[in-house]
Structure 1
Amino acid sequence: MFSKTILDFGRKPNVIRDLSAYAGRRKAEIGAEHVFDFSIGSPNVPPPPEVHEAMLDLLTHADPVEIHSYTAAPGLLSLRKTIAQSINRRFGDHVDESGIYVTAGASGAIAMALKGLTNPGDEVIIFTPHYMEYLIYTEAYGAKPVIVKTLPDSFQIDLPAFEAALTEKTRVVILNSPNNPSGVIYTKESVKALTDAMKAAEKRFGHAIYLLSDEPYRELAYDGVEVPYLMNYYDDTLVCYSYSKTLSIPGERMGYLAICRRCADYADVVDVCAGAARALGHICASNLYQRVIERCVDVVADVNFYKENRDILVKGLEDLGYTCIHPDGAFYLFLKSPLPDSMVFCEKAKAYELMVVPGHDFGVPEYLRVSYCVARETIVNALPAFAKLAKDCGL
């Protein structure tokens, strides 16, 4: 007998991957220059030269056995110290190496944290719009996702709605800023109000409520907009970080889980996350890339390219009559569907070879996501197709 829950996960369509695969087939059929694929969020700027230099130096001069061997499960101690020092230097004195666990990207960190922190029946609060895999990670371990809508048109936190969702069963709250899929960055005021409500709930219910900060897009913030660091507001915080976007190395699967040293039951949280990683089959992250990260811990890819793409795309679409949520970060644009159902709109867009993602799996069916981590000419050449689509939809 199979696990019905896991079987359902395996059979559930992944709309983004399916759309990307469809775009690939269309490119083979009619030529890549005629297909405008805004489906998947994969960085399209090269890694910084420091990454290449570190890799080349390691492969040329380091012990070839040592750099390809197993490391400790949480990662190289030297890397964990380097990451902790970077966090403390940039954001305040929050972590030490014992609370750093090197993972396969932010997703690996989220999965192990949710597995370790929740028991069946516990509740995990998730804000819309949300990364679609949060539901799978939560339900896989028997916890219950509690979906909380954000404020319409701004997608900032709706404090009364959040406070109403907090119950004695609340164990984890997930916050993703800059947000995938909206590009919204939660303001300091929103974050403070949220964490104040969580502190009050902890006192009311008599147990810790952990804040899981999903931060793969932290470094992708534009126009001087600050991304609040949640450990500065709330001690019971775990940060899930990825180098996929920071260093443009998504296929290398490098990230970390950082646990605030002041969090409730710190030693137990460290151990339960380590146990969760073990139960999930984690052995260690890439030895070679751990050493690369150690040399490039504060290096960032050229994110200005994404900002320029954003500006061209937003202006072009707004000039055509589309309504956009202005993204302050990440590399996604959330577009209000001109039709009541974004699924219908996105299917119609295919006729113009435009691949955009409906908002249903993000929890906001009236919006759609446009990934602008694409070649500049893709955006420029797609605007006439968006114009025809707008006319077709009555804009």
Structure 2
Amino acid sequence: MLAENMVALGKRRSTIREIFEYGNSRAAEVGRENVFDFSIGNPNVPAPESVRQAILDIAAGDPVAAHGYTSAQGDAAVRGELAASINRRFGSDYTGDCLYLTAGAAAALSVTFKALTCPGDEFIVFAPFFPEYQCFIESGAGAKCVVVPPSVADFQINFEELDKCLNEKTKALVINSPCNPSGVVYSEQTICRLAQVLNEKSKEYGHPIYLISDEPYREIVYDGAEVPFVPHYYMDTIVCYSYSKSLSLPGERIGYVLVPPQAADSADLYAAICGAGRVLGYVCAPSMFQRVAARCAAETADIRIYRENRDLLFEGLTKMGYSCVKPEGAFYLFPQSLEADDRAFCERAKQYDLLLVPGTDFGAPGHVRISYCVHTETIRRALPLFAKLAADYAEIQ
């Protein structure tokens, strides 16, 4: 006998991955240049030159230090440097002992859910949300995932629906800003209101409700948008971060969990995260890229390319009649589909080799995710196809 839930997960790839693989097979038939794959959030902007130089310098030094094991929670000197970088940016006073280095944000989230979960616990997520949250919470940690329906007018938090979801079993809430898939940045007003609600409910229920801030897109913002640093607004915050997007290093799997000392039971919480990392086998994040991250933490890839892509795609689609909240960050557009059945819409888009992801997978039916971390010329060539797709629906109506 095998674990049936794990067998099922292994046989069923995420919709995003299924579409990505379909794109690969379709490209073999018609040529890569004729497939407009907007399915996956894979940064297409090169990493900063400093990353390449850091790799060369580290590799040329002590090979044991470059490639050997570090402490389970990450090299102490690296954690100290990363904490200092965070402090310079946000005016905080963290030490390296507040950080647990991980193999990207997925590992950071997984160890956090595992560390927090007790029997009967519930975690709240806000639609639209990254689909793997549900997998991490339910299949990974054995908790219940509760979804707050979206506020489709602006994709800020739907507080009326949140109030219906909160109860004594709520262990934590998960926020993602800038958001995958909407690109929306939660405003300071939203974060302040959320903090007030959680403080009141924590007092009412007699236990802390943690706020898990998933921040892999923190640096990718446009038009002067500011991302509130959540620990400054709510004490019981845990930050999960990755350098996959900011430094264009998705395949190198490097990130961290930040446990601020003011969080409830912070010493035991950090110990639980270390324990969860041990159970899940996430000890010692990639040693080379621990050191690369420490050297390059203050830098980002060239996000001007993403902004150009956003503007080109958003302006082009809205002129055609597509309805969309303008993203302030990340590299996704999340327009309404041109029919209520977003899966059917995405299937029709395939007729033009436009590969889009249904919003149903993100908890927001009637929308589609378009990842614009692609070559700008790809968007230019795709816009006429989006126009043809819109014309199809105009004829139907």
Q: Same fold (TM over 0.5)?
A: yes
Q: Does residue 1:328 correspond to 2:328, yes or no? A: yes
Are the equivalent residues in 2 in contact too, given 1:94–1:231 (CA < 8 A)?
A: no
Letter in 2 for 1:362: F
| Counterpart for residue 52 of structure 1 | 52
Query: In the alignment, is residue 89 of structure 1 matched against residue 52 of structure 2?
Result: no
What secondary structure is seen at the aligned counterpart in 1 of 2:78? helix
Measured in 2, the distance between the counterparts of 1:381 and 1:260 equals: 47
Shift of 1:95: 2.5
Provide, for residues 289-348 of structure 1, a one-character-per-residue CA deviation record: whole Å limited to 9, x for no partner: 111111111111101110000000011111111111210000000010001111000000
Question: Are the aligned partners of 1:105 and 1:253 in contact in 2 as well (CA < 8 Å)?
Answer: yes
Are the equivalent residues in 2 in contact too, given 1:92–1:232 (CA < 8 A)?
no
Structure 2 distance, partners of 1:357, 1:22, is 12
> Which residue matches 1:225?
225
Equivalent residues in 2 for 1:179-328 (5 A)?
A: 179-328=179-328
Task: Give the match for residue 127 of structure 1.
Answer: 126
Report the AA paired with residue 66 of structure 2: I
SS at match of 1:325: coil
Deviation for aligned residue 1:94: 4.9
| Total equivalences in the alignment | 394
Please list every run of 5 or more consecutive structure 1 residues that lacks an aligned counterpart in the other structure. none
Using the size of structure 1 for normalisation, the TM-score is: 0.98
- Tell me which moved more, 1-10 or 357-366: 1-10
**Distance (whole Å) between structure 2 residues aligned to residue 386 and residue 167 of structure 1:** 44
Which piece of structure 1 moves more, 194-203 or 26-35?
Answer: 26-35
**Amino acid across the alignment from 1:238:** I
Match of 2:157 in 1: 157
1:351 corresponds in structure 2 to 351
Aligned to 2:114: 115
- Other-structure match for 2:148: 148
1:305 corresponds to which letter in structure 2?
A: I
- Bigger Cα displacement from structure 2, 157-166 vs 46-55: 157-166
Cα distance, 1:221 vs structure 2: 0.6
Q: Aligned residue for 2:365?
A: 365
Instruction: Quote the Cα distance in structure 2 between the aligned partners of 1:255 and 1:166.
Output: 29
- Letter paired with 2:112: A
2:138 — aligned with what?
139
Q: Deviations over 1:77-112 (max 9, x none)?
A: 111111111112211325221110010111110000
- Inter-partner Cα distance in structure 1 for 2:57 and 2:276: 34
The corresponding residue for 1:78 is 77
CA distance in 2, matches of 1:192, 1:150: 19
The CA distance in 1 between the partners of 2:81 and 2:122, in whole Å, is 34
Deviations 1:137-183 (A, max 9, x none): 11022211111013122111112221221100000100000000000
Aligned-pair CA distance for 1:10: 2.1
* Whole-angstrom CA distance in 2 between matches of 1:58 and 1:94: 28
SS at match of 2:334: strand
| Residues 130 and 180 in structure 2, CA contact (< 8 A), matched pair in contact too | yes
Q: Give the C-alpha shift of residue 245 in structure 1.
A: 0.5
Helix, strand or coil for the counterpart of 2:63?
Answer: coil
Per the alignment, residue 103 of structure 2 pairs with 104
For 2:18, the aligned partner's letter is D
Give the CA deviation at 1:276. 0.3
Gaps of 5+ in 2: none
Task: Tell me whether 342-351 or 281-290 shows the greater mean CA deviation.
Answer: 281-290
Distance 2:355 2:79 in 1: 40
Preserved contact between residue 102 and residue 283 of structure 2 (Cα < 8 Å): no
* Distance change in 2, residues 1:94/1:334 (3 Å): farther
C-alpha distance in structure 1 between counterparts of 2:173 and 2:283, whole Å: 27
Cα drift, residue 360 of structure 1: 1.2
Q: Are the counterparts in 2 of residues 122 and 171 from structure 1 also a CA contact under 8 Å?
A: yes
Aligned counterpart, 1:66: 65
Partner Cα distance (2:253, 2:237) in 1:
23
Mean Cα displacement is larger for which, 65-74 or 346-355? Answer: 65-74
Deviates more, 1:121-130 or 1:279-288: 279-288
Q: Which shows bigger deviation, 25-34 or 209-218?
A: 25-34
Q: CA RMSD for the aligned pairs? A: 1.1
TM-score (norm 2): 0.97
CA contact (8 A) 2:150 2:364 kept: no
Displacement of 1:68 after TM fit? 0.9
**2:369 aligned counterpart, secondary structure:** strand
Q: CA deviation at 1:274?
A: 0.3
State the distance in 2 between where 1:343 and 1:81 align. 47
**CA displacement at 1:67 relative to structure 2:** 1.1
Q: Within 2, Cα distance between the matches of 1:302 and 1:59? A: 25
- Asked if the contact 1:96/1:261 (under 8 Å) is kept, the reply is no
4+ residue runs over 3 A deviation = none
Q: Secondary structure at the match of 1:102?
A: strand
Amino-acid identity (%): 48
Report the CA distance between 1:32 and its aligned residue: 1.6
Q: Which amino acid aligns with 1:88?
A: N
2:9 counterpart SS class: helix
